[in-house]
Amino acid sequence: MYKYRAQLTKGDEIRYISHLDYAGVMERAIRRAKLPAAYTEGFNPHLKMSFASPLSLGVTSDAEYMDFELTKPLCQPEIFDKLSAALPPGIRLIKLKPVKEPKPCEGKKHKALMAEVEQGIYEVMAPLTGDWDAAVKAVEKYNGATEVNYHRVTPKKTRDIEVKQYMLEPVKIGMSGDLVKLTMNISITQTGSIKPAEILELLHNEYGLPVALGRALINRSKLMGQGKDLIDLV
């Protein structure tokens, strides 16, 4: 089997499709691309593919990663062109690399893509609804706090999450056109993480960040492991 890693986007056109739907869309794209894809065994064969950290509904991304396998080795440009041509609006292929499996004597195989993820960088854009100075102050106050709790309510359970343990860097604030731009560098661990939308909600509700929450747009710009972009880990 020949394994490849692709870095893909999730554009504005499809920001509201789920992670599962995104996987289905990619499966059909690979089929349209007529790549010699490898399938799972069993009654209901599926393409052998795996994804990195799932994205929340409504978030776009320049950093979606997918590992997939082919039964024949094709050269990188051929795969790149064929797959690019078969993608639907809203998904672009940014990079593609073969995954070099370590030789058996070198020890362990590559970790699963999902397990490699340690860090995500997100940008939040939202219209300013008040004073710029107040906005800067709100972010400073949040950054200065030692402990911040987020009350997460899901249909299944409700719990409090300590947020600061996941903040790898202070939240940065700037302006982009007439939108406030927040940059968040968040740690993603096997046991949990915090979502950028949740940080934004805290900033707005608890720290008085004057932005229009309902019009905020979030984009994931990077996903990293061991301090490197996931595409460079292969």
Partner 1 sequence: MIKLEPEILQAVEKPARYTGHELNAVHKDWDEVDCHFALAMADTYEVGMSNLGLKILYEVLNNRQDTACERVYAPWTDMEAIMRERSIPLFSLESFTEIKKFDFLGFTLQYEMIYSNILNMLDLAGIPIWAKDRNDEASFIVGGGPTVYNTEPIADFFDFFILGEGEEVISEVAETFVKWKREGKPGGRKGFLKEVAKLEGIYVPSFYNVKYNEKGYFSSIEPKEPEARAKIYKRVIKDLDSVHFVEKPVMPYIGIVHDRIMLELFRGCTRGCRFCQAGTSYRPIRERSREYLRGLARKLVDSSGYNEMSLTSLSSADYSCLGELVDDLFSDFEGEKVSFSLPSLRIDSFSIDLAHKLQQVRKSGLTFAPEAGTQRLRDVINKGVTEKNLMTAVEAAFKQGWKQVKLYFMMGLPTETDEDIVGIARLAEKVARKYKEVKGKWGVTVTISVSCFVPKPHTPFQWFGQLPKDEFERRQRLLKDSITERAVKFHYHDARVSVLEGAISRGDRRISQVIYQAWKDGAKFDGWTDLFKEDVWHEAFRKCGIDMKEYSERTRDFDEPLPWEHTTPGVSKDFLKREWNKAVAEQLTEDCRRGKCSGCGVCPSLKVDIVDWKRKEGEVKANV
By the criterion CB under 8 A, which residues form the site for partner 1? 13-18, 21, 24-25, 27-32, 34, 39, 43-45, 57-58, 86, 88-90, 213-217
CA 179 to centroid of chain Cα atoms: 22
CB of 163 to partner 1, least distance (A): 21
Nearby residues of 183 by Cβ (< 8 Å), 6 or more positions away: 121, 122, 123, 124, 171, 172, 174
Q: How large is the C-alpha radius of gyration of the chain?
A: 20
DSSP bridge pairs for 98: 4
- Based on CB atoms, which residue is closest to partner 1, 32 or 137? 32
- Based on CB atoms, which residue is closest to partner 1, 57 or 115? 57
Identify the helix (H) or strand (E) that includes residue 211: none
* Residue 4 · residue 35 · CB < 8 Å: no
- Based on CB atoms, which residue is closest to partner 1, 5 or 15? 15
- Based on CB atoms, which residue is closest to partner 1, 177 or 227? 177
CB of 131 to partner 1, least distance (A): 22
CB of 149 to partner 1, least distance (A): 23
CB of 43 to partner 1, least distance (A): 5
Residue at 181: amino acid letter:
K
- Based on CB atoms, which residue is closest to partner 1, 86 or 135? 86
- Based on CB atoms, which residue is closest to partner 1, 39 or 132? 39
CB of 123 to partner 1, least distance (A): 15
Cα 209 to Cα 6, 9, 94, 168: the distances in Å are 37, 29, 34, 21
Give the residue from 69, 122, 124 showing the smallest Cα distance to 98. 69
CB of 41 to partner 1, least distance (A): 11
CB of 58 to partner 1, least distance (A): 5
Query: Rounded to the nearest 5°, which phi and psi values hold at 109?
Result: -80, 170
- Based on CB atoms, which residue is closest to partner 1, 172 or 215? 215
DSSP bridge pairs for 140: none
Sign of CA dihedral 125, 131, 136, 138: negative
The two structure tokens encoding residue 190: 């096997």
